[in-house]
Amino acid sequence: MKKVLIANRGEIALRILRAARELGIRTVVAHSEADAESLPVLLADEAICVGPPSPTQSYLNIPNILSAAIVSGADAIHPGYGFLAENPTFAEMVREHGITFIGPTAENMRALGDKASARKIAREAGVPVVPGTDELQDPEEAKRAAAEIGYPVILKASAGGGGRGMRLVHTEEELERAVLQAQEEARAAFGNPAIYLEKYIEEPKHVEVQVLGDGERVIHLFERDCSIQRRHQKLLEEAPSTLPTEVRDGLLKSAVRLAEHIGYVSAGTLEFLVDREGNFYFIEMNTRIQVEHPVTEMVTGVDLVREQFLIAAGEPLRLKQEEIRASGHAIEVRVNAEDPDKNFRPSIGKVETLLWPGGAGVRVDSHLYAGYRIPSHYDSLLGKIIVWDLTRDAAIARMRRALEETALEGPGLKTTIPFHKKVLDNAFFRRGAVYTNFVARRMSE
């Protein structure tokens, strides 16, 4: 592997670029017109514009991405997360052109990328899933299933995530309309109207397990708690979780068993809901690197992106399960260009003042620099602040200090930093009483 095309933008493009540099691999960043002055573009060995600002014409434009790889002589493509990262057709086309795809196989993606299909495979592997249905055909089928399972239920898009296509339903009277709305939203967001139904679990924890596989062997790198969310989108993550040891052990074993069942390759994340009684249920697998992967790196010392490169180059897993140790506690906050006081409304503008925190146990992943103008066409993520310390309480104190040290300002620019300070000061958060309704319930109080 001599040269990699990075088919993404923002902080993840820079993260991949750095890992490639350390491995002695030259970098080409594929970018839109709106990202011509972004930090990954400025730091890359080469950069190629692949289209206008619209993602459909640039970062989601498969012919343009492939052409950029061929023209630049790249022998590998790393898709990052989002955009084409979990598109099996793209992965197949990359390999058909003799280019290494740094990620799972197209077969892995097809098996687990569709959530309804993933539920079937989990059941085959003996992994518990939330009571629910396979793909729904019509509202009448949904009504029969909901009557059997019991309300409340939640409708989900088979092909997507991020809360799009989701509808919480409390009564049969709401269900027919909710099915039609969820199908339309799923069609608009993912080009696929397929939805399925699950029992809605009240006040669960959202816990995910990081895995690495080489097609023959799978290991876990412990778990992350991602319960602090708004509109089903994560805001703060930490590792390890506060789960009892016996629940954690069962969760980790189930995640490895499911990934091994499909011969998983590369980095991936299996997501679970854990109820108040300690029962856990598989909900989906993300067949890519995750936004929150740095918290796992901080507690294990394993560079997950480097491992992705090595696995894609054909090397067997270098790590054995007994060699992986989780030490201390790590917390990550997502610094988004959003106004928490106005229901997290997107906020854009020019970054005039920028000071990131530093010191022992502090890491920042960001593509920002003073003078950078935040484009309006993409996700609102500006960067991630990650801290590590020996205990959870010490990590909370360190994150509080890091946020106080951060200055990110510009005309009209609002960020989620004030929100994160409030979370860290919240008594329920401090004692680990955190569930997926935390923002709606505890922060509103």
Point out the residues that are catalytic: 288
Q: Which residues contact 49 (CB under 8 A, 6 or more apart)?
A: 31, 32, 33, 36
Three-state DSSP at 3 gives strand
CA atoms of 372 and 336, how far apart (whole Å): 15
Q: Which residues contact 417 (CB under 8 A, 6 or more apart)?
A: 333, 335, 403, 406, 408
Sign of the alpha-carbon torsion through 384, 81, 133, 184? positive
Which is it for strands 345-346 and 26-32: parallel, antiparallel or unpaired?
Answer: unpaired
Q: 167 vs 98, 154, 183, 223, 317, CA distance in Å? A: 42, 6, 10, 27, 40
Per-position b or e across 215-241, b if 16+ CB within 10 A of its CB: bebbbbbbbbbbbbbbeebbbbbbbbb
Instruction: Provide the β-strand partners of residue 234.
Output: 229
Contact 287, 109 (CB under 8 A): yes
Read off the tokens for 118: 């993933």
Sign of the alpha-carbon torsion through 435, 437, 438, 439? positive
Give the helix ranges, DSSP H, for 277-380: 293-300, 304-312
Which is it for strands 100-101 and 76-78: parallel, antiparallel or unpaired?
Answer: parallel
